[in-house]
Chains A and B, each alone.
Chain A
Amino acid sequence: MANLKEIKRKIGSVKNTQKTTNAMKLVSSAKLKRTEELAKRSRVYASKLTELLNEIAAKMQQANAEGIDNVYFKDIENPKKVDIIFITADKGLCGGFNSQTIKRATKLIEEFKAKDVKVRLRAVGRKGIDFFKFNGIELNDEIIGLSAAPDFKKASEFISEVADSYVHGDTDKIILIHNGYVNMITQEVREDQLLPVDTSMLELNSVSTSELEVEPDDDDTLLDALVKRYVEYTMYYSLIDSLAAEHSARMQAMDAATTNAKEMVKELTVKYNKARQESITTELIEIISGMESMK
């Protein structure tokens, strides 16, 4: 009889879990929709900004045969100091979302260490911070709360500091890692080189801009401002992208959890019924054998 009660209690608890995971899934799907909308709107801005940067860079390259003479475009072949920024979520319960980013970051750090490159880590999001702190790896900078609610101002403050240290020569390269959104069921870890601007990404020769006038007349002023904005915006966009991916990952994880809970309830119910029948049979046998002995 104790077994029966035990199973019944278990069923109740699994059902409760199922309700929670189902609710979390619904919340995530609602949030995902909102984040997706935000991402869609900012994508237009991002593409236009890149387009403009592309054109200015192309113009400068055409004017100068030796490439672009600007601090943001200096590509050093063997960087000695690298900054890695990585974005994780503040919360868990989203499957392998955070561990994927962390794994990629760890791999990259090892690669750089093997080449004797000094690496500075900058973490966004509680999960990544916790992981590296637990493993005793020092973080240069950390920020919590930004990955759950991307804010352009905060993001640009965060990234400006990194960009400044690049301009001052404290770092040769800035890499941004985040887990990006592909669709409802897929996320993909993305690794972008933030600075120096990756010229291979720009289609420098595809545009003819010989007649492009620039105001203020000094190309560098405009380019500097543009690159700065580009860096800030890439950071901001990555945050949104990461948030969308987080929600989709959580949705998936919670969906799987709900399905598993359903399965478990089914199994437990069968077990419960079996136990119930068993106990009835035992009781019957007891009664019958009792009557038998009375004869």
Chain B
Amino acid sequence: MELMKLEIITPNGMIFDGEVKQVNLPGSEGEFGVLAGHATLVSLLDTGVIVIDKEDGNELAVAINSGYVKVEEEKTTCIVDGAVALSGDDGELSKALEDAKELLKSTEASNSAIASAVSKVEQIGKSF
């Protein structure tokens, strides 16, 4: 499967930088998935969860509050205000989950958007 480069950048640094198979993004007009070779696109991102299908087949979820994404054929760049990657071993993960929930709740998005994002985060937490 063809790979593409993905970067997730926050004011506090780079959260993710690597080759991925696919990424699902919470666009302001609805969720959408991006594969390599996607047409150039710029979109606003809403409060939600970015799900990354990594090169090694594992999934990584990143909770974000809001931002932008620029999709190019071989590269996708997410510029977000705040992001928490849901990864690490047990102790780190539960802390990450808490951080993610807090981040999501602190945004100005509509309640339903926050609720769906939070439930998604919880689901991911259970699946580990």
Binding site for B on A (CB under 8 A): 41-42, 44-45, 48-49, 52, 55-56, 152, 209, 211-216, 221-222, 225-226, 229, 233, 236
Bound CA span A226–B67, Å: 9
Q: Is the CB of B79 within 8 A of A48?
A: yes
Q: Is the CB of A214 within 8 A of B29?
A: no
Query: B34-42, B50-58, B84-92: which lies at the A interface?
Result: B34-42
State how many angstroms separate the Cβ of B55 from the closest Cβ of chain A.
22
Interface size class of B (residues with CB under 8 A): 20 to 34
Are A212 and B41 also in contact (CB < 8 A) when A44-B14, A52-B68, A52-B70 are? yes
Residue of A at shortest CB range from B78? A48
Q: Is the CB of B44 within 8 A of A216?
A: yes
Of B7, B70, B77, chain A has the most CB atoms within 10 Å of the CB of B70
Residue of B at shortest CB range from A37? B13
Bound CA span A199–B9, Å: 25
User: In the complex, which residues of chain A have a beta carbon less than 8 angstroms from the beta carbon of B14?
Assistant: 41, 44
Binding site for A on B (CB under 8 A): 7, 9-14, 27-29, 39-44, 68, 70, 77, 79, 81
Of B27, B29, B79, chain A has the most CB atoms within 10 Å of the CB of B79
User: In the complex, which residues of chain B have a beta carbon less than 8 angstroms from the beta carbon of A48?
Assistant: 7, 9, 77, 79
State how many angstroms separate the Cβ of B16 from the closest Cβ of chain A.
13
User: In the complex, which residues of chain A have a beta carbon less than 8 angstroms from the beta carbon of B41?
Assistant: 212-215
State how many angstroms separate the Cβ of B81 from the closest Cβ of chain A.
8
23 A-B contact pairs sorted by A residue (CB < 8 Å): A41-B13, A42-B11, A42-B12, A44-B13, A44-B14, A45-B9, A48-B9, A48-B79, A52-B42, A52-B70, A52-B79, A55-B42, A152-B11, A152-B81, A212-B40, A214-B41, A215-B27, A215-B41, A215-B42, A215-B43, A216-B29, A216-B43, A229-B68
Residue of B at shortest CB range from A152? B11
State how many angstroms separate the Cβ of B70 from the closest Cβ of chain A.
6
User: In the complex, which residues of chain B have a beta carbon less than 8 angstroms from the beta carbon of A229?
Assistant: 68, 81
State how many angstroms separate the Cβ of B44 from the closest Cβ of chain A.
6
User: In the complex, which residues of chain A have a beta carbon less than 8 angstroms from the beta carbon of B43?
Assistant: 214-216, 222
State how many angstroms separate the Cβ of A150 from the closest Cβ of chain B.
10
Q: Is the CB of A49 within 8 A of B79?
A: yes
User: In the complex, which residues of chain B have a beta carbon less than 8 angstroms from the beta carbon of A214?
Assistant: 41-43
Q: Is the CB of B68 within 8 A of A226?
A: yes
Of B14, B41, B68, chain A has the most CB atoms within 10 Å of the CB of B68
